[in-house]
Amino acid sequence: MDFSLDNAKAQKVWADSENLWLLLIDGRQLSLPLIFFPRLSKASAEELDDYELSGGGLGIHWNNLDEDLYVPNLLMGISDSNRKNKTA
């Protein structure tokens, strides 16, 4: 099995009260704190269940929440595509 970032594709996504979970096609499971994703952390369970996988599982999209995540970025520790670096 190839565990490279090129093969980091989601097969299933779900959330509990604290974490976003991903099951990858290579069998890995990834858990990320929901607080890393402001829109997702404020969403209802029904809203979190309403996602689409894109690019064969490379992307996760929540249309009603206007949220998009890129699975390889999540594996590299990049959590929220909407978070901006702030400088003083």
Domain 10-85, classified CATH 3.30.2020.40, yes or no: yes
Q: What are the residue ranges spanned by the domains of the chain?
A: 10-85
pTM comes to 0.83
Q: What would the pLDDT profile of 42-57 be if each residue is shown by its tens digit?
A: 999 999 999 999 999 9
The mean per-residue pLDDT over the stretch 9-32 comes to 96
Band the pLDDT of 1: cuts 50, 70, 90: low
Band the pLDDT of 86: cuts 50, 70, 90: very low
Q: How far is CA 74 from CA 22, 49, 71, in A?
A: 10, 19, 5
Compute how many other C-beta atoms are within 10 angstroms of the C-beta atom of residue 43: 19
